[in-house]
Structure 1
Amino acid sequence: MRIGVLGTGNMADALATQWVRAGHEVIIGGRDVGKAEQLASRIGDGAKPADLRTAAEAADDVVLAALPYAAGADVVGALRSALEGKAVLDCSNPIGPGFRLLTEGGPSAAQRLAAAAPEAHVIKAFNVCHEDVWRMQPPVFDGRPLAVPLCGDDEASLARARELVRNIGCEPLAAGGLERASLVEATALLFIGLWVGEQVDAQAIAPPLAFVTGPR
């Protein structure tokens, strides 16, 4: 795939590096092209720098929106024509001070992107874990690959997202349509609050699948 990346931060770095290693062509787009050049140089292996619009236009099927929540809808809306028909993977988390969900009572971050570019196929993905988890080769814990929940409505776009999940050694998890993205974002908020705020192992709150309805 030829993947356009919107953003030059840590998530863009982590995921784009993995996808380049998997053989994909990556175009790093930034508001500051100098930062895009620095990131593309650090990733290497043919990663190319560009401005945001060029990165979006150059992508053949998939664009990663690795953007701060506050800027995401504005950036995606400005690129609406360049994103038409493409899968847009949203990895943002709308988290405010005190681990507060900034979208409470309104549409999810992913739904805001979809409203800003309705001809695109927005998918919520890669938002639950810290960027350094995505740098692992691969993210496997106790012999079990990390599962990545995906929320989206377009099957062709979801198929591409599943491929990109597997490229980094993880397993895609069907989490429903885009209307369920708010649940995935809230889950990320809960987990981050437990991990960072309370120093609690969030995995401890859920029983294994075989025991979800109690012992058998």
Structure 2
Amino acid sequence: MRIAVLGTGMVGRAIATRAAELGHQVTIGTRDVAATRDRGGDHAAWAAPHPEVGLATYADATADADLVVNATTGDGSLPALTAAGEDNLAGKVLLDIANPLDFSAGFPPTLSVLNTDSLGERIQRAFPRLKVVKALNTLTADLMVHPRQLADGDHTVFVSGDDESAKKTVTELLTSFGHTDVIDLGDISTARGTEMLLPIWLRLYGRLGTGIFNVKIVR
């Protein structure tokens, strides 16, 4: 597949690296290509050994993509997708990994959207022709793409979305990453549940001192 990954942070880099390793044609989308390419820092250090992954504006990255990954920050998601362009996104599958974290009161963050709404739903309403699938937002970046770093990798991830074929596409990608237990929660409103797992995830992170953990639904 041609995959556009929106976001140059840790999650975006992890998804881009793994997808490229699996043979997908990957382009990372960013707000300012020159600034992202030329500045120092984590992305520049990562990009040098990964010449197979392209870098483009949000719009150019998504224009020819089969699958778009939203790996931006929660408050940056709608601006990034707006910059990508509604016509570029129409009819495409969006794997939405972002969480609506609010750091205004410091750490740990709270959620800016919860209970009766979710970031996934807000994206779906804003872009009704986009096929939004919420997934992978409940675990750290390394485990998203290499689940066998944790025991035997048999832990649980979730998908939420209104379009069954889009959820099938995302589930196949997750399976190719190594996930063996993918639970379809239902329509996009069920993203409220997975986004609201973040408060307990953050407390576990603080207690365990590592992000290498996940939940397993035993049934």
TM-score (norm 1): 0.84
> Residue by residue, what CA displacement relative to the aligned partner does 1:44-72 show, whole Å, maximum 9, x if unpaired?
3x22111110011120x210011111111
Q: Are the aligned partners of 1:3 and 1:27 in contact in 2 as well (CA < 8 Å)?
A: yes
2:167 alignment partner in structure 1: 158
Larger CA deviation: 118-127 vs 26-35: 26-35
Q: Percent identity at matched positions?
A: 28
1:92 is aligned, of 86, 98, 118, to 98
Aligned residues: 205
Q: Are the aligned partners of 2:8 and 2:30 in contact in 1 as well (CA < 8 Å)?
A: yes
1:51 alignment partner in structure 2: 57
Structure 2: how far apart are the matches of 1:2 and 1:128?
A: 25
1:76 alignment partner in structure 2: 81
Larger CA deviation: 176-185 vs 68-77: 68-77
Q: Are the aligned partners of 2:5 and 2:26 in contact in 1 as well (CA < 8 Å)?
A: yes
Letter in 2 for 1:20: A
What is the CA distance between 1:205 and its match in structure 2? 8.8
Structure 2: how far apart are the matches of 1:159 and 1:170?
A: 14
Distance 1:33 1:154, change over 3 A: same
Q: Are the aligned partners of 1:77 and 1:113 in contact in 2 as well (CA < 8 Å)?
A: no
Structure 2: how far apart are the matches of 1:163 and 1:76?
A: 24
What is the CA distance between 1:143 and its match in structure 2? 2.3
What is the CA distance between 1:153 and its match in structure 2? 1.3
Q: Secondary structure at the match of 2:91?
A: coil
> Residue by residue, what CA displacement relative to the aligned partner does 1:177-203 show, whole Å, maximum 9, x if unpaired?
10100100001332222222x339998
Letter in 2 for 1:12: G
Q: Are the aligned partners of 2:14 and 2:142 in contact in 1 as well (CA < 8 Å)?
A: yes
Structure 1: how far apart are the matches of 2:144 and 2:198?
A: 15
Structure 2: how far apart are the matches of 1:189 and 1:133?
A: 18
1:27 matched to 2:37: no
Structure 2: how far apart are the matches of 1:12 and 1:195?
A: 21
Q: Secondary structure at the match of 2:208?
A: coil
Gaps of 5+ in 2: 39-43
Q: Secondary structure at the match of 1:175?
A: strand
Q: Secondary structure at the match of 2:186?
A: coil
What is the CA distance between 1:7 and its match in structure 2? 1.2
Q: Secondary structure at the match of 1:82?
A: helix
Letter in 1 for 2:202: I
What is the CA distance between 1:94 and its match in structure 2? 1.4
1:195 alignment partner in structure 2: 205
Structure 1 segments, 4+ long, off by >6 Å, are 200-207
Q: Are the aligned partners of 1:111 and 1:179 in contact in 2 as well (CA < 8 Å)?
A: yes
For residues 32-181 of structure 1, the aligned pairs below 5 Å read 32-34=32-34, 35=36, 38=44, 40-44=47-51, 46-59=52-65, 61-78=66-83, 79-96=85-102, 97=106, 98-136=108-146, 138-139=147-148, 141-171=150-180, 172-181=182-191
Q: Are the aligned partners of 1:140 and 1:146 in contact in 2 as well (CA < 8 Å)?
A: no
Q: Are the aligned partners of 2:156 and 2:214 in contact in 1 as well (CA < 8 Å)?
A: no
1:214 alignment partner in structure 2: none
Letter in 1 for 2:139: C
Q: Are the aligned partners of 2:156 and 2:217 in contact in 1 as well (CA < 8 Å)?
A: no
2:12 alignment partner in structure 1: 12
